[in-house]
């Protein structure tokens, strides 16, 4: 791999930075926005915690440390992935570096705020189920801390080398490491391993998205050549003058799209873990979604009776169980269906209905019961997700009834407060502004042997934007870094510009080693943290 050290003194980016600066007004505006964002976060968090009365300040201390580490991951994520969005507009002189970074940060912010949360919770489903259910226990905290610290360490290491490594890849590797270590620590109990099916699904998205980026950008670049005959599109920028207006508008638009897509997808990867932290430290405030209305609860009560009746059709009358919780946990973990599973499902549905209807609203469920109700809802939701594939043959009509019921469960447990999105967006933006230069230089100067042309930049970013938004629609995490850098390489190959094999080799090595390295780091950290926590 290339020697890290500092940015190359002859970098084109260095020359541009000498001629521009954010200016005093820019710094003041950014400072005011940052203060406003922090003020909003603190006020909303204080409001959420206003009715929480812990016996000591330790939960608050633990919450502060955990949030700091979680937002640290998003801060480092900004070094890598957000920086990719601005490389093309900087190297085509469409925007000045500081303007590009602020503009990208703004659209990342919008992307994070409008994200659905689907990606956040698809990442959570990769974790061992009993650690999710016991997130307020010592092993749950050990899991979260191990995941985040390992991801931060590996991301910092690859950033220091100037390598566009994938934060998504890093997070998946960290999850695998925790899952395998958890299996080794607790034995083959059936509830301690990695959800390999979900890992495979996510890993396929991470594997194929760079190939889509490479091939898609190459094809789009060739289509540009066929459809648009303006020779300026296919020439390297001359001097530091901006491109013609329509070319500049296209490049700024693609930068905007990639930034928005990055925020809507990559910005979610830490959100799910932040929610686990909140549930683990202050379950009274965050175990259940207190924004669910009373009318929705009343509808849920009626639907619960319907679901219980439907499940009864699949229950063996000769089946007996002692405790429904472990039965559902066993099914969700092992995917092994038994007659006891349906009986456990019906009992848990009835228990949830009784608890919710008794108190009339989720925010009125007693504090000491909120975590338990959340766990019951989570297990039922996951059971209903898996039943069509691993359970008995269920009619299409019954599947619709299950889906309607599951929707309420997910609204009640899989939610993300707006202040969490704001915090993640600020962390991403700050990370970009602090560490963007290394990755931008790699993408802009070290992938191809010639300067990036306007058509190449537009092709790479258009494909990256569409790929990331498509993955977001399916709730799949993908790497902005790998999609965009592969897209740049694809346009260089299509243009026969030549590729810098040393850079591509380093990126490929980082891609290959990220998963095992992150897994090893998180596994070791999880083992170490478990030595010091109360089980």
pLDDT given for residue 535 in this prediction: 55
User: CA 37, 115, 144 angle in degrees (round to 5)?
Assistant: 75
Asked if 475 and 202 count as a contact pair (C-beta separation under 8 A), the reply is no
Confidence at 311, pLDDT banded by 50, 70, 90:
very high
List b or e across 29-60, with b for residues whose CB sees 16 or more CB atoms inside 10 angstroms.
Answer: ebeebeeebeeebeebbeebbeeeeeeeeebe
Worst-scoring range by mean pLDDT, 14-23, 45-54, 308-317, 458-467? Answer: 14-23
Residue 270's alpha-carbon distances to 147, 225, 243, 265, 527, in angstroms, are 10, 40, 37, 10, 22
For the segment 358-378, what is each residue's pLDDT rounded down to a tens digit? 888 888 888 888 889 999 999
Query: What pLDDT was estimated at residue 33?
Result: 80
Contact 429, 457 (CB under 8 A): no
**Between 190 and 218, residue with greater pLDDT:** 218
Range of 18-27, 99-108, 142-151, 177-186 with top mean pLDDT: 142-151
Calpha distance 252→154 (Å, rounded)? 31
The average pLDDT across 415-431 equals 87
Q: Which one is predicted more confidently, 528 or 510?
A: 528
List, for residues 198-213, the tens digit of each pLDDT value: 677 777 777 788 888 8
Mean pLDDT of the chain: 81
Structure confidence at residue 9 (pLDDT): 44
Is 159 within 8 Å of 79 (Cβ atoms)?
A: yes
pLDDT tops 60 at residue 22: no
Torsion, Cα of 456, 460, 466, 472 (10° steps) = -160
The residue that leads in pLDDT, 529 or 203, is 529
Q: What's the rounded mean pLDDT across residues 379-392? A: 91
Most confident residue range from 3-7, 13-17, 236-240, 279-283: 279-283
The 10s digit of each residue's pLDDT in 487-496 is 888 888 888 8
Among 257, 232, 237, which residue's Cα sits nearest to residue 107?
257
pLDDT band at 402 (very low <50, low <70, confident <90, very high): very high
More confident residue, 137 or 426: 426
* CA torsion through residues 356, 358, 359, 360, sign: positive
Position 350 pLDDT exceeds 90: yes
Confidence (pLDDT) at 8? 45
Cα 487 to the center of its chain, rounded Å? 21
pLDDT value for 348: 95
List pLDDT tens digits, range 262-304: 788 777 877 888 888 888 888 888 888 988 887 888 888 889 9
Residues 430, 428: Cα–Cα separation, whole Å: 6
Place of tokens 């390297």: 236
Mean pLDDT of 237-244: 75
Residue 422 has pLDDT above 80, yes or no: yes
pLDDT class of 102 with cuts at 50, 70, 90: confident
Predicted local confidence at residue 195, as pLDDT: 67
- Select from 60, 205, 46, 65 the least CA-distant residue to 148: 65
pTM listed for this prediction: 0.80
């Amino acid at each position: 791999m290339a020697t890290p050290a500092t940015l190359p003194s002859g970098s084109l980016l260095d020359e541009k930075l000498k001629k521009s600066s954010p200016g005093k007004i820019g710094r003041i505006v950014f400072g005011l926005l940052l203060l406003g964002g922090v003020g909003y976060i603190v006020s909303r968090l204080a409001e959420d915690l206003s009715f929480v009365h812990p016996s000591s300040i330790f939960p608050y201390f633990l919450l502060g440390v955990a949030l700091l580490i979680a937002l640290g991951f998003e801060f480092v994520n900004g070094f890598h992935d957000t920086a990719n969005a601005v490389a093309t507009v900087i190297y085509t002189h469409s925007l000045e570096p500081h303007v590009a970074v602020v503009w990208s940060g703004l659209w990342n912010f919008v992307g994070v705020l409008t994200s659905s949360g689907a990606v956040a919770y698809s990442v959570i489903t990769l974790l061992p189920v009993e650690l999710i259910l016991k997130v307020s226990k010592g092993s749950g905290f050990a899991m979260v801390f191990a995941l985040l610290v390992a991801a931060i360490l590996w991301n910092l290491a690859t950033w220091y080398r100037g390598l566009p490594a994938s934060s998504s890849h890093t997070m998946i590797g960290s999850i695998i490491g925790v899952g395998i270590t958890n299996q080794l620590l607790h034995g083959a109990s059936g509830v301690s391993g990695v959800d390999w099916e979900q890992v495979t699904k996510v890993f396929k998205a991470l594997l194929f998205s760079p190939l889509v980026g490479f091939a898609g950008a190459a094809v789009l670049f060739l289509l540009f050549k066929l459809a648009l005959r303006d020779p300026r599109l296919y020439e390297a920028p001359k001097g530091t003058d901006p491109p013609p207006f329509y070319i500049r508008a296209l490049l700024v638009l693609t930068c905007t799209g990639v930034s928005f897509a990055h925020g809507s997808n990559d910005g979610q990867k830490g959100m799910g873990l932040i929610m686990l932290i909140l549930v683990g430290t202050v379950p009274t405030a965050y175990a259940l979604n207190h924004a669910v209305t009373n009318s929705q609860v009343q509808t849920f009560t009626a639907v619960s009776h319907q679901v219980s009746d439907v499940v009864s059709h699949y229950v063996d009358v000769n089946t007996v169980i002692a405790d429904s919780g472990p039965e559902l946990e066993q099914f969700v973990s092992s995917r092994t269906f038994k007659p006891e599973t349906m009986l456990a499902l019906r009992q848990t549905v009835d228990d949830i209905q009784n608890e919710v209807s008794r108190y009339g609203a989720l925010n009125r469920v007693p504090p000491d019961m909120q975590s338990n109700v959340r766990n019951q809802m989570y297990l039922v939701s996951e059971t209903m997700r898996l039943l069509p594939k691993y359970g008995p043959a269920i009619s299409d009509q019954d599947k619709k009834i299950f889906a309607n019921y599951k929707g309420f469960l997910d609204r009640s447990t899989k939610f993300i407060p707006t202040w969490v999105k704001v915090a993640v967006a600020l962390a991403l933006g700050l990370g970009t502004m602090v560490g963007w230069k290394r990755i931008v230089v790699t993408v802009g100067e070290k992938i191809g042997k010639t300067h990036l042309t306007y058509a190449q930049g537009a092709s790479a970013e258009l494909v990256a934007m569409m790929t990331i938004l498509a993955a977001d629609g399916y709730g799949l995490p993908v790497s902005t870094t790998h999609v965009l850098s592969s897209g740049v390489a694809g346009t260089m190959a299509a243009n026969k510009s030549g590729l810098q094999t040393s850079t591509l080799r380093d990126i490929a090595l980082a891609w290959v080693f990220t998963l095992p390295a992150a897994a090893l780091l998180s596994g070791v950290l999880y083992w170490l943290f478990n030595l010091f926590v109360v089980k």
